[in-house]
Amino acid sequence: MKINMMNRPIKGTNEWNHFSIVLDIPVKSEVIAFGLLLNGPGHVWMDKLSFEMVDESVPVTEQSYTEGLSNEPVNLNFEDDTAIG
């Protein structure tokens, strides 16, 4: 699963601010990878990064457009009508 801030990018020059991503972590997860992306010239800093457990009353962040896609190719013979959508 890949979650990022694609739908809410930080643009321009900004003061320090707090940004968060809330997601459900599957029970069988083994790794959480995190990082920072900068598109174009400039500088970006990250400070006081933390991971916190929250209860179900906190809504998850809008999911990536890749959510729900299979990790493997499916229906390569185009015979399964239910594999689309």
Domain ranges of the chain: 1-85
DSSP 45-71: ---S-------TTSPPPPPPTTTT--S
* Token couple for 54: 């929250």
77 pLDDT band, cuts 50/70/90, is confident
Under 8 Å between Cβ of 83 and 75: yes
Whether the predicted pLDDT of 78 surpasses 60: yes
Q: Which range, of 32-41, 43-52, 76-85, averages the lowest pLDDT? A: 76-85
* pTM, to two decimals: 0.56
Query: Chain centroid to CA 81: how far?
Result: 29
Dihedral pair phi/psi, residue 66, rounded to 5°: -90, -5
Q: 81 CB contacts (<8 Å, ≥6 apart)?
A: none
